[in-house]
Amino acid sequence: MSSLRVGFAAALAMALCAGSTAAEGLGEPDYAEVNAAIVEQHVLPRYEALAEAAGALDTAAAAHCAKPDGDGLEELRRHYHHTMDAWMGIQHVQFGPIELFQRGYRLYFWPRGQGRIAGAVDELLAARDESRFADEAFRKASVATQGLPAMEQLLYSEARVFGASGEALWRCRLLTAISANLRDMTVEIVADWQGGRVAFARSMAEPEPETGYFGSHKDGTLELFKSFYTGLQLIADARLSPVVGQSLETARPRMAETRLSERSLRNVVLSLEALQALYLGENDGPGLGVLVVESGSDAKLDPLMRRAFEKTLATARGIAPPLGEAVKDPARRTQVETLRTQATAMKQIVETRMATVLGLGVGFNALDGD
Amino acid sequence: MVIDRRCLVGSVLAGLALPPALAKAALPDKRLYLSARRSGDGAFWVSAFTAQGVSHLDVPLPGRGHSFAVQPDGPVAVHFARRPGRFAKVLDLREGRALAEIEAPAQRHFYGHGVFAAEGALLYATENDYEAERGVIGVYDASAGYRRLGELASHGIGPHDIRLLSDGETLAVANGGIATRPDLPRVKLNLPSMTPSLVYLDRRDGRLLEEVRLAPELHQLSIRHLAVGADDHVAIAMQYEGPFGDRVSLVALHRRGGQPRLLDAPPSVLRGMKHYCGSAAFDHSGRVLAVSAPRGNRLVFWDVEEGRFLSSVELADGCGIAAAETPGQFLASSGVGGVVLVDAVSGLSHQLASDFLNGSQWDNHLLAADI
């Protein structure tokens, strides 16, 4: 762990005259180039993959409800996992079309939803009210019933029967309402990045100081940086810490994300991989790490970040799932504790050192405010 | 390197032409500025220093601190842990030392703010009853070792800042509206359904005197910090949790019985505040309002009487702000180090020459205390 210790002093720049000491080497063209590459090679392809997976899930849901059988359920679960995988690949991006119409919450009501999904789903099923499944009504319904967590509840809870009559019919109504909703929202997100009233990709590429959605290229990089930081924060503080607890006795398996479909650790690995791709760049485009190198102000940071991703990912991949069991197993628990420490350390390195190096004016008070 | 105005160390500060009657008549013996800080080795402290930047009190903390309740006319201040911390330090400002520590009760944590009643015997602290997901105001008896006497409902979720109006009985409480749990320490849980409020409570029995909300479409403006100016004008400084591109006012004024009034600023200033106010303070006259926007690296000033925007001054991660002794002037602290004296009308500022101030990362709040 010593290699991941935070060299805090290095981040303590006496930079009262903002932008003049930190990131001397970075200017608007640098931010612009990296933003454009990340949007084209990271954000858009990943949202497109999500829309594709959600579309296939919707097709599978409709097919299963038309002709329910055991194989169909397995097929549905496979598509659910594909969609979740794609979502883990882009969940860290928390600005743009995902912010509009509460799409982020409607897609994935978590971690707040923990413990509330089952009740909301049961209530909706018990009501047996067709009007609540109509498109417009469903889009405005509780976010707890609209997204992937409700889908997980339907596919993995004990009463996972779908059919054409009785209780099973209503389960089908909800299943297909969720899948259609996911399909529509993910298609809309891709469309809003590429066009529409805001056309986020263009707003980001052509900032306007007074009237634009983005005031500068630096504003755009700041949003990408915040997504990067928030992604690490979610892994350390929401995916791991509450489950791991302070000791074996106080570990809480029930707090594990997507516990029913037993994919908590897979979520950790996939979101770490997505953040690594945001840092390193992908599809031949640069990532945020290029700015770290170009700033020329903290030569040790880029190698440290690369090593931190490799080590943390190796730890995460080495733990036998499910997470809820691992934290209660003395042998595996040590590995989970290491993973939490590594993820927390990464978050701190990004908060203290990377923020300064990128010259984004993200400080002690600004990043994690109160 | 571009030299901007606030970096002209030692620039002459123009005084504000305010009616002399507005300025408080007698200056105190000694004015101290209180703030939490992080030192170069990563340790957390609570500190007090003079207007000249001389350290007067420096006490280590078990974790990150937030804000203070200052006993009126007394030498005592209580410093609260930052959410979701559970400690508070009782400080003797004259002696420059800690007197005692208060621990939040089981199933509660502090939000970081508190206020003393006028006679200084009772202390009110904003707290989270997280199991029930409701805000409470803990009531502590300063004359009995800060024993907790009980709690009042805050009539909202996430009570943050709390102030006392001039009648000595009315508490103003900012219910931020955001639900959090200590086991998910920095995760906001209910942004789609949040409904922040400014409430006025009778401190004697907790009775809800008035509840103020902004228009429904502004329900994601979290009401977080308060400042009380002349004639009990309550300024609310907010944080917007809605979409990044929305252009919304972040500061409003309210007086008991009236409607809240949003304060305007030029579009570039509003955008530059990045949806996030860190703290608010009135100047010594109670007429000039200062709000810090640390994410936008700026301080913004308004003349409250005329509802007029005055100026905006850059300060890297500038967050703590407190009235200086001269009306229209403030001391402001930076999260990357250093403290500046700034004039709201001219927009000029200069950095206090102090290795102690420059070598510390100053946390969210700066408060003035006269001892």
pLDDT at position A167, please?
86
Nearest to B341 by CA among B285, B293, B283: B283
Chain center to CA of B110? 15
Helix, strand, or coil (residue B358): helix
Nearest to B129 by CA among B99, B101, B106, B96: B106
Sheet with strand B208-212: strands edge to edge: B159-164, B170-175, B197-202, B208-212
Cα–Cα distance between A90 and A281 in angstroms, integer? 14
Cα–Cα distance between A218 and A291 in angstroms, integer? 11
State the best of B161, B184, B321 to mutate against chain A, taking most chain A CBs within 10 Å. B184
Cα–Cα distance between B189 and A365 in angstroms, integer? 21
Sheet with strand B31-38: strands edge to edge: B55-60, B44-50, B31-38, B361-370
A161's tokens? 């029967």
pLDDT value at B19 more than 70: no
Cα–Cα distance between B31 and B329 in angstroms, integer? 14
Q: What Cα–Cα distance (Å) separates residue A262 from each residue in A119, A259, A320, B285, B364?
A: 20, 5, 11, 61, 40
pLDDT value at A4 more than 50: no
Tens digits of per-residue pLDDT, A296-350?
999 999 999 999 999 999 999 999 999 999 999 999 999 999 999 999 999 999 9
The DSSP secondary-structure symbol of B120 reads S
Length of chain A in terms of residues written: 370
B343's tokens? 């004039």
CB contact under 8 A, A237 and B184: yes
Q: What Cα–Cα distance (Å) separates residue A281 from each residue in A23, A47, A95, A99, A248?
A: 20, 16, 19, 24, 38
DSSP characters over B311-337: EEEE-TTEEEEEE-SSTTEEEEEETTS
pLDDT value at A22 more than 80: no
Contact between residue B5 and residue B303 where contact means Cβ atoms under 8 Å apart: no
Identify all chain B residues contacting A238, using CB atoms and an 8 Å cutoff. 184, 187
pLDDT at position A187, please?
97
pLDDT at position B245, please?
80
Residues 6 or more apart whose Cβ sits within 8 Å of residue B288? B16, B282, B301, B302, B303, B304, B310, B327, B328, B344
Q: What percent of chain B has pLDDT over 70?
A: 92
CB contact under 8 A, A369 and B362: no
pLDDT at position B26, please?
39
Identify all chain A residues contacting B336, using CB atoms and an 8 Å cutoff. 12-16, 363-364
Three-class HEC string of chain A: CHHHCCCHHHHCCCCCCCCCCCCCCCCHHHHHHHHHHHHHHHHHHHHHHHHHHHHHHHHHHHHHHHCCCHHHHHHHHHHHHHHHHHHHCCCCCCCCHHHHHHHHHHHCCCCCCCCCHHHHHHHHHHHCCHHHHCHHHHHCCCHHHHCHHHHHHHHHCCCCCCCCCHHHHHHHHHHHHHHHHHHHHHHHHHHHHHCCCCCHHHHHHCCCCCCCCCCCHHHHHHHHHHHHHHHHHHHHHHHHHHHHCCCCCCCCHHHCCCCCCCCHHHHHHHHHHHHHHHHHCCCCCCCHHHHHHHHCCCCCHHHHHHHHHHHHHHHHHCCCCCHHHHCCCHHHHHHHHHHHHHHHHHHHHHHHHHHHHCCCCCCCCCCCCC
Average pLDDT over residues A173-198: 94
More confident residue, B22 or A315: A315
B207's tokens? 């009775």
Average pLDDT over residues A223-230: 94
pLDDT value at B261 more than 60: yes
Contact between residue B332 and residue B340 where contact means Cβ atoms under 8 Å apart: yes
β-pair partners for B127: B110, B136
Query: ipTM of the assembly?
Result: 0.70
Contact between residue A264 and residue A239 where contact means Cβ atoms under 8 Å apart: yes
pLDDT value at A10 more than 60: no
Sheet with strand B234-240: strands edge to edge: B221-228, B234-240, B251-254, B261-262
Cα–Cα distance between A339 and A244 in angstroms, integer? 10
More confident residue, B316 or A17: B316
Residue extents of the structural domains in chain B: 5-370
pLDDT at position A363, please?
67
Cα–Cα distance between B18 and B186 in angstroms, integer? 43
The DSSP secondary-structure symbol of B276 reads B
If one looks up domain B5-370 in CATH, what number appears? Answer: 2.130.10.10
Tens digits of per-residue pLDDT, B103-138?
999 999 999 999 999 888 999 999 999 999 999 999
Query: HSE-up of A353 (CA within 13 Å, CB side)?
Result: 25
pLDDT category, B29, cuts 50, 70, 90?
Answer: low
Cα–Cα distance between B243 and B289 in angstroms, integer? 27
Three-class HEC string of A284-304: CCCCHHHHHHHHCCCCCHHHH
Identify all chain B residues contacting A111, using CB atoms and an 8 Å cutoff. 184, 187, 189
Cα–Cα distance between A97 and B63 in angstroms, integer? 37
Greatest extent of chain A over all pairs of C-alpha atoms, in Å: 69
Nearest to A105 by CA among B246, B243, B245: B243
State the best of A206, A360, A370 to mutate against chain B, taking most chain B CBs within 10 Å. A370
Nearest to B58 by CA among B371, B359, B364, B319: B359
Q: What Cα–Cα distance (Å) separates residue B29 from each residue in B73, B118, B368?
A: 12, 20, 13
Minimum Cα–Cα distance from B179: chain A residue: A112
Tens digits of per-residue pLDDT, A117-176?
999 999 999 999 999 999 889 999 999 999 999 999 999 988 778 888 888 899 999 999
Nearest to A134 by CA among A104, A174, A106, A172: A174
CB contact under 8 A, B40 and A241: no
Mean pLDDT, chain A, integer: 89
Average pLDDT over residues B172-188: 86
Average pLDDT over residues A279-294: 97
Q: Does residue A368 sit at the B interface (CB-CB below 8 Å)?
A: yes
What distance in Å separates residue A309's CA from the closest CA in chain B?
A: 23
Provide the 10 A C-beta neighbour count for residue B145. 10
B38, B160, B271: residue with CB nearest A215: B271
Average pLDDT over residues A39-58: 98
Contact between residue B325 and residue B360 where contact means Cβ atoms under 8 Å apart: no
Nearest to B100 by CA among B65, B116, B128, B76: B76
Contact between residue B156 and residue B141 where contact means Cβ atoms under 8 Å apart: no
Dihedral pair phi/psi, residue B286, rounded to 5°: 80, 10
Arch. (CATH architecture) of A25-37+205-357:
Up-down Bundle (1.20)
Fold agreement (A25-37+205-357, A41-201) = yes
pLDDT category, B246, cuts 50, 70, 90?
Answer: confident
Nearest to B157 by CA among B107, B186, B197: B197
pLDDT category, A213, cuts 50, 70, 90?
Answer: confident
Specify the residue for token string 């009237």: A211
Cα–Cα distance between A186 and A319 in angstroms, integer? 32
Number of residue pairs across A and B with CB atoms under 8 Å?
138
β-pair partners for B317: none
pLDDT value at B12 more than 80: no
Average pLDDT over residues A200-225: 89
Tens digits of per-residue pLDDT, A69-100?
878 899 999 999 999 999 999 999 999 999 99
Q: Does residue A2 sit at the B interface (CB-CB below 8 Å)?
A: no
Minimum Cα–Cα distance from B273: chain A residue: A366
Q: CA angle A109-A114-A117, nearest 5°?
A: 70
Residue extents of the structural domains in chain A: 25-37+205-357, 41-201
Strand pairing report for B234-240 and B251-254: antiparallel
Identify all chain B residues contacting A203, using CB atoms and an 8 Å cutoff. 245
Average pLDDT over residues A205-221: 87
Cα–Cα distance between A209 and A222 in angstroms, integer? 15
pLDDT at position A20, please?
34
Identify all chain A residues contacting B350, using CB atoms and an 8 Å cutoff. none
Identify all chain B residues contacting A237, using CB atoms and an 8 Å cutoff. 184-187
For chain A, state the CA radius of gyration.
22
Tens digits of per-residue pLDDT, B186-240?
677 788 889 999 999 999 999 999 999 999 999 999 999 999 999 999 999 999 9
CB contact under 8 A, A16 and B337: yes
pLDDT value at B9 more than 50: no
Cα–Cα distance between A234 and B242 in angstroms, integer? 19
β-pair partners for B282: B289
pTM: 0.81
What distance in Å separates residue A319's CA from the closest CA in chain B?
A: 23
pLDDT value at A208 more than 70: yes
Helix, strand, or coil (residue B356): helix
CB contact under 8 A, B278 and A365: yes
Minimum Cα–Cα distance from B352: chain A residue: A16
If one looks up domain A41-201 in CATH, what number appears? Answer: 1.20.1420.20
Contact between residue B239 and residue B293 where contact means Cβ atoms under 8 Å apart: no
